Amino acid sequence: MTNKEKFNNLVSDETTDTVKRNRDRIKNRARLRESQSIALKVLDKLDELGWSQRKLALAMDVSPQQITKIVKGKENLTLETQTKLQEILDIPILATYYEKMGGEIFSDTHIQETEKYTIPKSTSFKIEYDSETKEYKYYQETA
């Protein structure tokens, strides 16, 4: 008997779906990356707040097992779950997070006219780029 034949005698009859599962992960890669990114944001925020996953489960009114799944970064999260996470943890998940923030920024911003500024006529400027330090040097020449 060859090594191969002897080895085959040791192999279980059980079939695996490893290649198929692997292929599915590749197919769902874009979505999985989003799930992973959300999981990291959630875990970071929980650390920052000093919250346990159990506390988050209570706040979201879901089971602790559901949170365990979310922080693995593999779940295909529903819009409802994403919205809850965004609102309860105040973390950016959906575009509305920034859209709302933009609205708040505008409502809080008042444009006031200040003293008029005029560029001094006798002043000239020169900017040089230093490729070694990768810095811009700024010269002001006063006449």
By C-beta, is 73 or 84 nearer to other proteins?
73
What is 92-116 written as a DSSP string? --SHHHHHHHHHHHHHH--------
Identify the residue among 57, 62, 71, 91 touching other proteins (CB under 8 A). Answer: 71
Any bridge partners for residue 141, and if so which? 124
The count of residues in the chain is 143
What's the rounded Cα separation, in Å, for the pair 124 and 142? 7
Residue 70 CB: number of other CB atoms within 10 A?
24
Rule CB under 8 A: say whether 79 interacts with other proteins: no
Q: Is 3 in the site for other proteins (CB under 8 A)?
A: yes
CB of 11 to other proteins, least distance (A): 5
Q: How far is the CB of 31 from other proteins (least distance, A)?
A: 13
Nearest to 72 by CA among 94, 46, 43: 43
Dihedral sign from CA coordinates of 120, 122, 128, 133:
negative
- Asked whether position 16 contacts other proteins by CB under 8 A, the answer is yes
Instruction: Name which position in 26, 95, 111, 143 contacts other proteins (CB under 8 A).
Output: 26
User: Hey, which residues between 83 and 112 contact other proteins (CB under 8 A)?
Assistant: none
**Residues contributing to the site for other proteins (CB under 8 A):** 2-4, 6-12, 14-16, 18-19, 21-23, 25-26, 29, 32-33, 36, 39-40, 43-44, 68, 71-74
